[in-house]
Structure 1
Amino acid sequence: MNVLIIGGTRFLGPYVTKQLVKLGHNVTIFHRGQTNCTLPDSVNEIIGDRNNLKDLRQQIQHLSIDVLVDMFPYSEQDAIDVIESFSDVTKRFVALSSVDVYQAYGRLIGIEKGEFTTDIMTEESPVRTVIYPYRAISKEDDWQYHYDKILVEQQFMRNSSVPSTVLRLPMIYGPNDRQFRLSQYLKTMKTSNEITLHSTEAKWRTSRGFVENVAHAITLASVDPKAANQIYNVAEDFAFTELEWVKTIKEHYKWDGQILVDEAAVVLDGFNPEQHLVISSKKIRDELGYKEIVPFEEGIQQTITWELANAPE
């Protein structure tokens, strides 16, 4: 199978590329050339910018592309450009989306009205009615101003003339995560013997995924024809409370401090921890046979080790 990846050099991308090559597929990646990463020798790299897909089109039109994987379609226009440029040269699109499409996420960040819930979301759960989740806090020339995965999904699932697959991803942790998902706690553990959580925050649950395992889900969805015209949630099959998450970091970091729960603790602005963000990954497990390839204990330890060695000052 010939796979074209738009992106492919940051965080998730190298894992997806390596897994596809290991399975015997031919992989071409299109990227800006701004990120150094080690890829298998067989990978064909094309340097360019997704804002000028005509260049990519000219370089791959002689290839027979079975699947095009778009690693970072942030805006509706991103999706439109890919669909218009490559629908006649590929047999299927795979687009990465996010759990932020769900109505529950809108309530979590305060842009969506309604009662808070602890429901576990399936692919059929309601999505946000408010689009552009970050427009109120961004400028027009900022990518966040135009960001909305709901609009991306609609373009691929409704307006593409070839089959598409959408993967809704959770909070992802692991080596090379430039968001440093664990750093807020690791920094405190390095300098203090106490971490304090608000009582509501301590009970908050969200879905997560280790980077290599999420990449495995993307790989499966890319190579399995059954994934055509489907939307899949990707996440671990358990969801820690924030208190359990911090205790897990404490255990693997071997920190001997205390975790306190206090009504007076400060909760992050624009964050309503009464609204949980837990998704079910049962569909992708049942239909595509997805399961984690890296055990949780190993993944969390890898993440802590990398963040301690690479966290910014």
Structure 2
Amino acid sequence: MSHYAEIQGDCDSPDALKKAIELTCPDMIIHMIAMYQSHIEALEKALEGQRIKLLLISSVDVYKGFEVFNKLSSAPIEPIPFTEKSPLRDIRFPYREKPGINFGYYYDKILVEEIACGRRQSIDFPNCGDTHGAANHKKSAGSCVKSSKCKKVCQWY
């Protein structure tokens, strides 16, 4: 990559996101924090009238296996490693009412990903294929960025 910028700021603020996007003029955004619906809505608002590639970082807790491992479901144990084709958990907001987890009430990566994927008019996802799992266990977000041929990347923390 010829240029990389790391941005730290308020993911709920379309104005902060828009300012960072205007400042860095990225070809791609790697969103490391998107945990709530409001994060994706703010990004969409900041991208109004633009189209930028987005690499949205997921979490293992989106999978049914997470639900079973944490005894949130009595379903059978899922095979590992998880892949993009592994079943997703049925329970939403898995951290609500969990002691010591202060971010959990609105957190749900499945909801974040569904919203982001449903709004492709402002968000463009690079075709990275399966970035984890048996077939591509060495493929990383970095190799996904390289394969997208983006020259300027903005990583949002």
Match of 1:286 in 2: none
In the alignment, is the contact (CA less than 8 A) between 1:75 and 1:146 conserved in 2?
Answer: yes
Instruction: Among all aligned residue pairs of Structure 1 and Structure 2, give the percentage whose two residues are the same amino acid.
Output: 20
Q: Distance in 1 between matches of 2:60 and 2:115?
A: 17
TM-score (normalizing by structure 1): 0.40
In the alignment, is the contact (CA less than 8 A) between 1:103 and 1:126 conserved in 2?
Answer: yes
Distance 1:78 1:152, change over 3 A: same
TM-score (normalizing by structure 2): 0.73
Counterpart check, 1:145 vs 2:68: no
Counterpart check, 1:107 vs 2:68: yes
1:167-197 Cα distance to aligned partner (Å, 9 max, x none): 9998xxxxxxxxxxxxxxxxxxxxxxxxxxx
Distance 1:131 1:169, change over 3 A: farther
Map 1:282-297 → 2, pairs under 5 A: none
In the alignment, is the contact (CA less than 8 A) between 2:29 and 2:53 conserved in 1?
Answer: yes
Q: How many residues align?
A: 144
CA deviation after TM superposition for structure 1 residue 163, in Å: 1.7
Structure 2's unaligned 5+ residue stretches are 150-157
Match of 2:155 in 1: none
Structure 1's unaligned 5+ residue stretches are 1-22, 32-47, 171-206, 208-212, 227-313
Distance 1:79 1:138, change over 3 A: farther
Distance 1:167 1:132, change over 3 A: farther
AA matched with 1:223? K
Q: Distance in 1 between matches of 2:111 and 2:73?
A: 17
Match of 1:225 in 2: 148
In the alignment, is the contact (CA less than 8 A) between 2:67 and 2:73 conserved in 1?
Answer: yes
AA matched with 2:62? V
Counterpart check, 1:57 vs 2:9: no
Q: Distance in 1 between matches of 2:140 and 2:33?
A: 16
| Higher share in helix | 1
Q: Flag the structure with larger Rg.
A: 1
Counterpart check, 1:156 vs 2:80: no
In the alignment, is the contact (CA less than 8 A) between 1:138 and 1:144 conserved in 2?
Answer: no
AA matched with 2:6? I
Distance 1:169 1:136, change over 3 A: farther
Distance 1:73 1:60, change over 3 A: closer
Q: Could you say what secondary structure the match of 1:93 adopts?
A: strand
Counterpart check, 1:28 vs 2:12: no
Q: Distance in 2 between matches of 1:59 and 1:103?
A: 36
AA matched with 1:28? A
